[in-house]
Structure 1
């Protein structure tokens, strides 16, 4: 390759074609297996349906896929007749994949949830502001470590986390979220997704029923399904998850995963009455509650709502927190607050997974918290995000001729525009994606719920990016002449 040139980017449709072909060749899609409908597959990947259709048509032309009119697409039944081995060993002989049942469940996760891999662009949700993160301060704190400290951090460490960081997190949670806990109850992990994985492995057996919010975060459902759990979607209303409905419909449920401070993705705040009912349910059913407080630090009103875990009788609540939203996702640090009895077992499981988090990052984060830098950073973000929210609301209203009137919120990093019943949200999301705007449809986060709408992230984007993206979406909504 000539000096100074870069390789051309592989077209998205070709990437999807290669992924599907590899899945067939490696046995993730067995011979005769029905493939996901192209519309659902496109929604899961966040691409236009035509992109998936192109990939499927090429696979059909090459003989990997057959299409049955009115019945969908299937992997070709006689793969040997295609004249290719499924995979090649060191001697070139054909070898069949040998995934366990659980391994196959994990492999199938890609059909249910694929986190975005591209840099954040408006209006992608869940992305924090990183352009103004104090990287220079972080680097200075890292350089302040003495040679002796660096040698200590380069050793194998406690899988539960550095004692200094666990103590800093416990102190912070009491001040910020009203949670009284000891450092011994804090387990440091690689973000909230690993926390959910540990919970699923240690508290659930295959086929155990788990209550999840509907709409809700697909990464939670994918993790639970990967462990063989049976996911039970529970509808929401203006007070949050309807636990009475869930208890009556699924009395055998052993665990519930909730986002009570700022429900993802609808933004509903769980009422105190519902919180108490949820705690009563856990005690009565000997069940667990997982509180995912993914953006609980971003509350902009005069009064901040404490965590569910801060209430009395919350002994069956596992609190999951992350620094991916408060600082940045590249840090890959989060934590779980556990009952004392569970803490040693979770530490052992963490050791089996990846031993422990990097010691130098833990050390810097501990000092970042204890020296007040986390508080100052969050204060800046709590001032910045409402400003960007206002820009978003005004830009969308103007660009759409008033068709998109988003309601302001005193919480979170995104807004939801919900559609009247019966309207579809996927078509506009697909057209926006083709025009370079990441617009997530609410249907992407539902299981049984008929609710539809669009999600608009604003935290990571400056005024120009928000206004440009709003102009594109507004033009797509305006009637064509």
Structure 2
């Protein structure tokens, strides 16, 4: 009988089996009990005898029932231990291993957003303008041979065609010269950081992280047992001199030098060279997270840290979640050549490999020029939306919020002096239906306060409406 949710009821014979099994497991039919003859049982239940026989046969196959020739069916005597065992203890996170608890505790440090993107949530690209028709056409162009190939188990490092396409794209777009064999395809930048933590850090190792910085990186490192050590960020980026002085045992630094998250500053050339020198002198690693490096709107683009000389200890992390859309769940790491095989093995242990057809589509999307055309459109659209955001907020707040235009990125940070309770205002904005992240949410020790205004993924009407809703909160 249907239960009102359009889910069909299980077959009658299955329900008879389930009732008998439940009676045995709960002790209603104890171990060694003789079951009624199948005809009498069927008559009592009002079902056909074959229904009962099917249920009994299944219970015998599973070991719940034993048949005795000429004497009927009995509940298996061995099931007495099932009833005599102590009742099962309810399980919670205290049952996890030490490492498991550390990973579970990341929820205390980082909660990925689960609601749909809305102004002014950061990190959301424009997804409506993504060329879905082109993407779908590429999927239909997969030949039978290619479909068969991508349906097999694949190289965990990624399809060679995609790895080569990424390497060529990085040279053209970011000025980063690498070989396709150095590229490891992964499920976004978060998996990239996870793999790096697994392979390059031991429990207790110290890692320099930007303060304020991205909490998802810190949470991942701490989940692996590493110690995330905060280093202040100023107008030139992470202060590596202070980091080296305060944390001399650090074995890694994770940085966002092109567009520091969340403040938006660029790391100066002097700081980049000092960071590379630090890594060479300490045999340490540098992880460069170039999360939105494609979105630079000025006349000249700043190349990545990994493109400088003496950058052999830099692992470059990129993602298509911002340049295309986060639903793809595809990113990559450019590795020092000597680490490529080890990282491929670790990727295989995690999830074997990324989806084959998706990799093939992305490779074609890049090589056929669609990525270039899409990014050109976004590099025209995002500055327009940024300008609209600046104007709308200035008007809605009666000049109380004057955002400074930026030549890069997908959000603008607005700082305020003093120790203002930025989280409280963000809470009021949420009540008004606007997602406004407080800067304090990204700080460890940093006293910096303010808010982050994401604009890339929202049209003019949505940006103006969000500004109208939060305007009184700043103007009062």
- Partner residue, 1:13: none
Q: Matched residue of 2:108: which SS?
A: helix
Q: CA deviation at 1:98?
A: 2.7
The alignment status of 1:162 with 2:159, answered yes or no, reads yes
Residues 128-174 of structure 1: CA distance to partner in whole angstroms, max 9, x if unpaired?
Answer: 00011100100000100111110110000000000000000000001
Residue 109 of structure 2, aligned match among 92, 108, 112: 112
| Pairs within 5 Å for 1:329-340 | 329-340=326-337
Q: Matched residue of 1:319: which SS?
A: strand
Residues 439-470 of structure 1: CA distance to partner in whole angstroms, max 9, x if unpaired?
Answer: 00000000000000000000000000000000
Q: Which runs of 5+ in 2 are unaligned?
A: 7-84
Residues 74-94 of structure 1: CA distance to partner in whole angstroms, max 9, x if unpaired?
Answer: xxxxxxxxxxxxxxxx98521
Q: Distance in 2 between matches of 1:95 and 1:423?
A: 44
The alignment status of 1:93 with 2:79, answered yes or no, reads no
Residue 382 of structure 1, aligned match among 372, 379, 382: 379
The alignment status of 1:312 with 2:309, answered yes or no, reads yes
- Partner residue, 2:131: 134
Q: Distance in 2 between matches of 1:166 and 1:122?
A: 35
Q: CA deviation at 1:426?
A: 1.0
- Partner residue, 1:286: 283
Q: Distance in 2 between matches of 1:239 and 1:337?
A: 25
Q: CA deviation at 1:3?
A: 8.9
Q: CA deviation at 1:2?
A: 7.3
The alignment status of 1:148 with 2:149, answered yes or no, reads no
The alignment status of 1:326 with 2:328, answered yes or no, reads no
Q: Distance in 2 between matches of 1:421 and 1:165?
A: 49
- Partner residue, 2:265: 268
The alignment status of 1:217 with 2:185, answered yes or no, reads no
- Partner residue, 1:463: 460
Larger Rg: 2
Residue 179 of structure 1, aligned match among 176, 200, 224: 176
Q: Distance in 1 between matches of 2:474 and 2:95?
A: 49
Q: Distance in 2 between matches of 1:201 and 1:213?
A: 20
- Partner residue, 1:441: 438
Moved more, 416-425 or 196-205: 416-425
Q: CA deviation at 1:421?
A: 1.9
Closer, same or farther: CA 471–205 of 1 in aligned 2, 3 Å: same
Q: Matched residue of 2:171: which SS?
A: helix
The alignment status of 1:300 with 2:300, answered yes or no, reads no
Residues 12-54 of structure 1: CA distance to partner in whole angstroms, max 9, x if unpaired?
Answer: xxxxxxxxxxxxxxxxxxxxxxxxxxxxxxxxxxxxxxxxxxx
Residue 228 of structure 1, aligned match among 203, 225, 228: 225
